[in-house]
Structure 1
Amino acid sequence: MNIEEFREYCISKKGITEEFPFDAETLVFKVMGKMFALVPLERLPSQVNLKCDPERAIALREEYEGRILPGYHMSKVHWNTLFIENLPHPLMKDLIDHSYDLVVSKFTKKLKAEFDALE
């Protein structure tokens, strides 16, 4: 998966916005205003930060050593940095979905109702 494929998959999800809240090189994807993916566009090789269940994060880092690392400039418990061009396409989609679903699962009742009302 390349950065453009990553972006297309992210923006296809419900309730998504993309913005540059930190600087002009760091693209952030949010669901209902909550960050679930961060992409440093100037970093090579291409990489992204995705939220992850802590136990799964450890298992992924062990299984994909050198390709999935603790989140760069993020909570090392809840975020992973992934070198996306070195990982299987289905795994990348699964991890994007996982990050998105983790964030959605933590919505307040009010935010969940707004999210559910979206087409």
Structure 2
Amino acid sequence: MDLETFRNHCLSLKLVNEKMPFDKAKGDYAKNLLVFSVFDKWFCFFNVDAFDFCDIKCDPEESEQLRDIYEGIRPGYHMNKKHWISIYFNQDVPDSKILELVNKSYDLVVKGLTKKQREELKNMS
């Protein structure tokens, strides 16, 4: 998986925005995080310099199953370990599975949006 393919996939989802929300002066891993969100609700992020893994939302039960199957899936880095996972690129998780899980993360976030936001999303062409 390369950065541009991954980024383009995230941006292909309805009403997705990308941003780098952290102060560049912090000097830590977070300063180069590229975050993908829908209505300002995060569903995916990764470090643009390292591009070694991404964090995504995940159903807690599925998260356990995925960690049992793949060495490249671990509890979410710096996130709620129950609801987020880290997926390491170029390990044992197929690219198609990574993109599928990004879509599921997006869907989880959309389910948590307000009714008005979901309607707006639904009416987008």
Tell me the number of residue pairs that the alignment of Structure 1 and Structure 2 aligns.
117
Give 1:105's match in structure 2, choosing from 86, 95, 111: 111
Percent of aligned positions that are identical: 40
> Following the alignment from structure 1 to structure 2, what is the Cα–Cα distance between the partners of residues 11 and 19?
11
Deviation at 1:81, TM superposition (A): 0.6
Give 1:60's match in structure 2, choosing from 39, 59, 66: 66
Give 1:26's match in structure 2, choosing from 25, 30, 33: 33
Structure 1 alignment gaps of length 5 or more? none
Query: 1:38 aligned to 2:31?
Result: no
Code of the aligned partner of 1:41: V
Query: 1:96 aligned to 2:105?
Result: no
RMSD: 1.3
Deviation at 1:116, TM superposition (A): 1.6
TM-score, length of structure 1 as denominator length: 0.91
> Following the alignment from structure 1 to structure 2, what is the Cα–Cα distance between the partners of residues 4 and 35?
19
> Following the alignment from structure 1 to structure 2, what is the Cα–Cα distance between the partners of residues 85 and 6?
13
Structure 2 alignment gaps of length 5 or more? 24-30
Q: Which runs of 4+ in 1 moved over 4 A?
A: none
TM-score, length of structure 2 as denominator length: 0.87
* Residues 32 and 115, structure 1, Cα contact 8 Å, conserved in 2: no
Note the alpha carbon deviations across 1:78-115, whole angstroms, 9 max, x for none: 00011122221210111011101100111111111221
* 1:117 aligned residue: 123
* Residues 2 and 85, structure 1, Cα contact 8 Å, conserved in 2: no
> Following the alignment from structure 2 to structure 1, what is the Cα–Cα distance between the partners of residues 89 and 39?
24
